[in-house]
């Protein structure tokens, strides 16, 4: 204390008290202000909740969020670190899709200036082995995240998860050395959802999925974590993520008991069984991997479908919408989309209806690209009458004209004769339970703009005359529809509820007759992708390939399908060997005189040429 101070000591006690009080006030004010600032900062940092949005519908489709990332979003740095931290798991899951030296390269760190970028490239290479596709941005650099993944800021993290595009975008090459052209809306023939899920589950369960293991890898990738990130945010996020991944495995892990799907395929409805009634897949008997057999209801593996021109699918010959899904179990585009969105973790309480509705609107008119190779017009013209005679009734007048007596109806299984696992996988029990999904979620009525400036306008409240189903008559005339009284009851319920609840799911007894838009890009053929190309589809099943390779994006314009005979790509990475003897993979059916497999070779050639114009 100075002398002056001491002299002040003699001042009256009142003044001193006043000063102390003032100091106290200042201190309190400071604490309050700092506290407020802190709260403001933390609030901005952790309560900010917004997706990355896009200006075009194509980008919205490829990268836009369904809001599933709010539930199971993986922090982007962790997403990038996973293939590196879990390189061994990635190798065991993907097998020879991964370069043999991948793990060695992952194990070697660089101290060069571009070390972080090299790490990131290595991470992307890992995802490419799962079939993910990366676009390049304006300066020619690959994007951080692949097609079909979203980005959202939430809980102070940039998080990502899959969206619709992961299963409905792919590439096609016209020549081995040529560029891979991206096609939006085609089946994701390269994406291996089975491998991706198992990689996610196994990595999430492994001891390496911990902050201690992931943090150094994130740093090597270029992450710049602050103290809060390092001590609070990421440790909590990783703990939460482990739980989320475990839960996801409980939901979707059933495929471990099924034959491997291979790229471009998925078992949709077993997911619904688990989601709705905890289908006990761990108890599935028999287990394919120990017995080589499966229960007739436990395999529903099918190709990802193309999703172009949905608008035209809203009407068929009787004025009703076409029956959608491979077995025609639903005729309502909205319900079909909501159900597909469940796979992106967009559960009823979180789903971004506007985002989905914009995609629904955009897909109404989205067209597939035209056949890029030359067409022998004369030969195609000869094929047209053959198509009209054999195919048009069930598959439509042409590639863009979907009119036809039985287009969008279900053909009885005994008639079409294709593999019945998928049909039997969708049980009546499941169809009934589907009616609980989205229960008590009222439909939104607002029109809203979409990224490309179009406006989505909700339909009028649903519900109609109630007629539903119906099967081709003449040769196969058993009506598949339920008794009209009960459908009129469901229609009345639907109109009054006006909710998102599924009311259109029905058990059918066959497979749906689909329009053939973009047919050339929809190989391999049949619902389970068991026939590699159109030429083989026009052969009786005993002359179709017994095994072939899936996952190549090189196109074969002669046979009309993707190249299916090469076991490896130019870099020596293997394709998936598809075995039609495996349960669910059967390639029989859609054959016989009426299906064109007994046509003379010249007629088949003409028909195939004509189908190229679709």
Contact 330, 323 (CB under 8 A): yes
Task: Give whichever of 109 and 486 is closer to other proteins, judged by the CB atom.
Answer: 486
How many CB atoms neighbour CB 427 within 10 A? 15
Phi, psi dihedrals of residue 75, rounded to the nearest 5°: -55, 135
Residue 200: helix, strand or coil by DSSP? helix
Residue closer to other proteins (CB basis): 265 or 504: 504
Helix (H) or strand (E) run with residue 187 in it:
none
Residue number with CB closer to other proteins (120 or 462): 462
Please check whether residue 524 is in contact with residue 562, taking contact to mean a CB–CB distance below 8 angstroms. Answer: yes
Nearest distance from C-beta of residue 440 to other proteins, angstroms = 6
Residue (276 or 599) nearer to other proteins, CB: 276
Q: Which DSSP state fits 398? A: S
DSSP-derived letter for residue 73 is P
Q: How far is the CB of 484 from other proteins (least distance, A)?
A: 12
Interacting residues of 417 by C-beta distance below 8 A, sequence separation 6+: 588, 589, 590, 591, 592
In the bound state with other proteins, the residue whose beta carbon lies nearer, of 346 and 391, is 346
**Least distance in angstroms from the C-beta of 305 to other proteins:** 22
Q: Least distance from C-beta 166 to other proteins, angstroms?
A: 22
Tell me how far apart the alpha carbons of residues 278 and 100 are, in angstroms, rounded to a whole number: 39
CB of 314 to other proteins, least distance (A): 19
As measured in angstroms, the least distance from the Cβ of 594 to other proteins is 21
Residue 490 and residue 492: Cα distance in Å, rounded?
A: 5
End-to-end CA distance of the chain: 95
Q: Which is nearer to other proteins, 69 or 393 (CB)?
A: 69
Q: Pick the closer one to other proteins by CB: 220 or 351.
A: 351
Closest CA to 368 of 181, 97, 595, 576: 181
Nearer to other proteins, 176 or 442 (CB): 442
Closest CA to 364 of 461, 457, 441: 457
- Closest approach, Cβ 343 to other proteins, in A, equals 14
By C-beta, is 507 or 594 nearer to other proteins?
A: 507
Q: Running DSSP on this structure, what letter comes out for residue 432?
A: H
180 alpha-carbon distance from chain centroid: 21
Query: Exposed (0-12), middle (13-18) or buried (19+): which is 570, by Cβ within 10 Å?
Result: exposed
Task: List the Cα angle 606/607/608 in 5-degree steps.
Answer: 90
Backbone phi, psi, residue 51, to 5°: -85, 160
Whole-angstrom distance, CA of residue 551 vs CA of residue 148: 17
Find the shortest distance in angstroms from Cβ 492 to other proteins: 4
Q: How far are the Cα atoms of 71, 102, 131, 190 from residue 148, in angstroms, in the given order?
A: 17, 24, 11, 13
In the bound state with other proteins, the residue whose beta carbon lies nearer, of 274 and 397, is: 274
CB nearer to other proteins: pick between 341 and 564: 341
Report, in Å, the least distance between residue 217 CB and other proteins: 31
Supply the minimum distance, in Å, between the C-beta of residue 393 and other proteins: 23
Beta carbon of residue 251, minimum distance to other proteins (angstroms, whole number): 10
Give the footprint of other proteins on this chain (CB under 8 A): 273, 275-280, 347-349, 427-436, 439-441, 480-483, 485-487, 489-490, 492-494, 496-497, 501-507, 509
Cα angle for residues 74, 76, 77 (degrees, 5° grid): 115
Nearest by Cα to 406 from 594, 604, 589:
594
| Distance (Å) of CA 173 to CA 179, 354, 473, 521 | 6, 34, 41, 11
Least distance from other proteins to the Cβ atom of residue 20, Å: 34
φ, ψ for residue 481, nearest 5 deg: -70, 155
Nearer to other proteins, 262 or 466 (CB): 466
């Amino acid at each position: 204390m100075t002398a002056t101070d001491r002299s002040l000591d003699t001042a009256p006690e009142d003044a001193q008290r006043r000063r102390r009080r003032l100091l106290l006030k200042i201190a309190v004010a400071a604490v309050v202000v700092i506290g407020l600032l802190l709260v403001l900062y933390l609030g901005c940092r952790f309560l900010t909740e917004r997706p990355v949005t896009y200006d075009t519908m194509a980008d919205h489709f490829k990268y836009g969020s369904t809001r599933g990332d709010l539930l199971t979003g993986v922090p982007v740095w962790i997403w990038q670190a996973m293939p590196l931290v879990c390189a061994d798991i990635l190798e065991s899951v993907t097998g020879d899709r991964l370069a043999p030296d991948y793990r060695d390269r992952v194990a070697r760190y660089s101290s060069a200036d571009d070390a972080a970028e090299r790490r990131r490239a290595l991470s992307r290479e890992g995802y490419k082995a799962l079939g993910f596709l990366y676009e390049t941005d304006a300066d020619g650099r690959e994007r951080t995240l692949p097609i079909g993944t979203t980005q959202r800021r939430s809980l102070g993290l940039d998080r990502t998860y899959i969206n619709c595009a992961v299963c409905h975008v792919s590439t096609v090459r016209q020549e081995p050395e040529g560029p891979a052209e991206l096609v939006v809306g085609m089946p994701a023939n390269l994406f291996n959802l089975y491998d991706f899920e198992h990689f996610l589950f196994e990595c999430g369960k492994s001891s390496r999925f911990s902050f201690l293991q992931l943090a150094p890898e994130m740093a090597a990738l270029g992450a710049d974590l602050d103290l809060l990130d390092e001590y609070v945010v990421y440790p909590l996020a990783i703990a939460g993520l482990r739980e989320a991944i475990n839960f996801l495995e409980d939901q979707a892990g059933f495929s471990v008991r099924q034959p491997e799907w291979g790229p471009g395929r998925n078992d949709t409805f077993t997911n619904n069984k688990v989601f709705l009634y905890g289908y006990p897949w761990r108890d599935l008997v028999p287990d394919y991997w120990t017995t080589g057999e499966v229960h007739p209801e436990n395999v529903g593996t099918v190709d990802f479908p193309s999703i172009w021109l949905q608008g035209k699918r809203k009407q068929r010959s009787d004025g009703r919408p076409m029956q959608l899904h491979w077995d025609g179990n639903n005729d309502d585009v909205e319900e079909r989309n909501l159900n597909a969105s469940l796979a992106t973790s967009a559960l009823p309480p979180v789903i971004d209806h506007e985002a989905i509705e914009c995609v629904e609107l955009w897909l109404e008119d989205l067209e597939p690209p035209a056949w890029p190779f030359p067409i022998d017009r004369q030969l195609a013209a000869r094929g047209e009458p053959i198509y009209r005679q054999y195919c048009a009734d069930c598959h439509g007048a042409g590639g863009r004209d979907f009119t036809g007596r039985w287009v969008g109806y279900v053909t009885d299984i005994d008639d079409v004769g294709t593999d019945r696992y998928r049909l039997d996988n969708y049980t009546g029990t499941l169809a009934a339970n589907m009616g609980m999904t989205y229960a008590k979620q009222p439909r939104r009525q607002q029109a809203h703009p979409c990224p490309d400036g179009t406006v989505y306008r909700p339909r009028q409240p649903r519900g109609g005359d109630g007629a539903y189903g119906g099967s081709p008559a003449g040769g196969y005339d058993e009506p598949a529809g339920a008794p009209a009284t009960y459908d009129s009851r469901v229609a009345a319920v639907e109109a009054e509820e006006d909710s998102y609840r599924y009311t259109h799911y029905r058990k059918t007894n066959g497979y749906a007759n689909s329009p053939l838009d973009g047919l050339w890009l929809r190989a391999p053929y049949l619902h389970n992708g068991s026939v590699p190309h159109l030429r083989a589809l026009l052969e009786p099943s005993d002359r179709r390939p017994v095994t072939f390779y899936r996952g190549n994006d090189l196109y074969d314009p002669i046979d009309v399908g993707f190249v299916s005979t090469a076991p490896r790509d130019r870099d020596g990475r293997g394709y998936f060997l598809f075995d039609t003897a495996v349960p669910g993979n059967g390639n029989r059916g859609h054959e016989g005189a009426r299906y064109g497999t007994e046509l003379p070779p010249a007629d088949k050639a003409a028909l195939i040429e004509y189908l190229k114009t679709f």
